[in-house]
């Protein structure tokens, strides 16, 4: 476990190590529903396990990214207090299953995700904001991108920053009809494309990681909550994500404008997560390129997780063996 010593000589806790236990619990529970086609049970199993585990964490947390409003989500709803009430006071972002459909269908890449930052420093999307346009890259390209610039310009700048050619680049894009024009523009300039079914949090992280070269940039429109979770991880890595609120139709556009929301505003990493002490944890549920999924055995299970921390820039990969108790119930 990473430790730092302040001038007083006291040890500084690494909250990320405790968050790993939360994502492991969600992954172990939800993983039982892999491929069974029941998205509701996938979500319920993950939420129940995560809720139970997070209550044991030494923190006074408030959920700012969760399963929805209180009336719609009985647990892990926005505004819910989590943790045991001890300091530190933090904002909490959760996605018990990033890639619910992937897990329900037995497809690769589903994750359990949690992030924290100092209280009041995480962006909480206003009511009615569901999607954001996004671009995410790693540290070497963080000053090269501009979400308002054409696709061709951004890819040229990214290639130059990488000392590469555009046709060396791999662009991750969610496989959605709304992205047909972005896909056309990427193909036109010659970059390679990796279409992803779900889970743009993992793709944004992969684009930002210096030791992962499978994806160079994430482009496209995805969920607003996922943008904040990705920003928390990217804040730890040192990359950059830029986002703009994306209305789904003219009616939603007019409603957001009437509510005083500036649709031209660009939200950068430090706008989405302002805190300087950010912790991020994720555990694989189904095997993907970022993390292996849960493996079950008669004696227990194995999990694969990643933990990040902004203050140190540390990224830890954690392989864990979980032995079932004598009662045959999973931990």
What is the CATH number for 95?
Answer: 3.30.540.10
Structural domain tally of the chain? 2
Q: What mean pLDDT, rounded, does the chain reach?
A: 91
Instruction: Give the model confidence (pLDDT) of 119-160 as tens digits.
Output: 999 999 888 899 999 999 999 999 999 999 999 999 999 999
Question: Is position 2 within any domain?
Answer: no
193 and 159 both lie in a single domain: yes
Q: Is residue 8 part of a domain?
A: no
pLDDT at 199: 81
142 token code pair: 């963080």
- 44 and 100 in a single domain? The answer is yes
Annotated binding site: 43, 67, 95, 98-100, 131, 176-178, 198-200, 223, 226
Residue ranges for the binding site for Mn(2+)? Answer: 43, 67, 95, 98, 226
Binding residues for substrate: 98-100, 131, 176-178, 198-200, 223
Name which of 203, 204, 199, 18 is nearest 116 in CA terms: 18
- pLDDT of 73: 64
Q: Is residue 223 part of a domain?
A: yes
Whether residues 267 and 284 fall in one domain: no
Residue 180 is assigned to a structural domain of this protein: yes
pLDDT at 12: 56
Region 184-208 average pLDDT: 94
User: Scanning the structure block, which residue is given the tokens 């986002």?
Assistant: 243
Q: Show the domain range for 153.
A: 131-272
How much is the pLDDT for 330?
46
263 shares its domain with 286: no
Task: Tell whether 65 is covered by a domain.
Answer: yes
Last residue in a domain, options 241, 257, 272: 272
Q: Is residue 264 part of a domain?
A: yes
- In what side-by-side order are the strands of the sheet with 170-174? 192-196, 170-174, 217-223, 131-137, 240-245, 267-268
Could you tell me the two tokens for 165? Answer: 């050619």
% of the chain beyond a pLDDT of 90: 82
The pLDDT of residue 325 is above 80: no
**Residue 6 covered by a domain:** no
CA distance 285 to 95: 12
- Residue 7 is predicted with a pLDDT of 36
| Tokens 């496989």, residue located | 175
Q: Give the pLDDT mean for 164-168.
A: 95
Distances (CA, A) of 185 to 137, 142, 177, 181, 237: 18, 21, 14, 6, 28
């Amino acid at each position: 476990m990473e430790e730092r010593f302040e001038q007083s000589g006291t040890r500084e806790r690494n909250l990320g190590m405790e968050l790993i236990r939360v994502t492991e619990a969600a992954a172990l529970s939800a993983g039982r529903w892999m491929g069974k086609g029941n998205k509701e049970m996938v979500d319920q199993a993950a939420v129940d396990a995560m809720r139970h585990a997070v209550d044991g964490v030494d923190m006074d947390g408030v959920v700012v990214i969760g399963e929805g409003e209180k009336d719609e989500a009985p647990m892990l709803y926005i505004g819910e207090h989590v943790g045991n009430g001890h300091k530190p006071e933090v904002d909490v972002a959760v996605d018990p299953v990033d890639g619910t459909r992937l897990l329900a269908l037995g497809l690769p890449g589903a994750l359990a995700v949690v992030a924290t930052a100092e209280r009041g420093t995480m962006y909480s999307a206003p009511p009615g904001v569901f999607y954001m346009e996004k671009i995410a890259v790693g540290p070497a390209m963080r000053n090269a991108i501009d979400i308002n610039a054409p696709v061709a310009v951004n890819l040229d700048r990214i290639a130059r920053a990488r000392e590469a050619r555009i046709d060396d680049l791999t662009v991750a894009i969610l496989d959605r009809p709304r992205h047909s024009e972005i896909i056309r523009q990427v193909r036109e300039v010659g970059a390679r494309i990796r279409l992803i079914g779900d889970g743009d949090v993992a793709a944004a992280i992969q684009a930002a990681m210096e030791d992962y070269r499978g994806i160079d940039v994430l482009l496209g429109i995805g969920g607003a909550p996922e943008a904040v979770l990705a920003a928390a991880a990217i804040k730890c890595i040192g990359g950059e994500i830029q986002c703009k609120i994306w209305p789904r139709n003219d009616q939603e556009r007019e409603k957001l404008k009437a509510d005083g929301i500036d649709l031209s505003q660009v939200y950068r990493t430090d706008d989405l997560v302002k805190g300087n002490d950010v912790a991020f944890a994720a555990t694989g549920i189904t095997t993907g390129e970022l993390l292996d999924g849960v493996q079950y055995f008669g004696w227990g299970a194995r999990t694969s997780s990643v933990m990040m921390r902004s203050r140190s820039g540390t990224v830890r990969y954690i392989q864990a063996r979980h032995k079932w108790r004598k009662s045959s119930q999973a931990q």
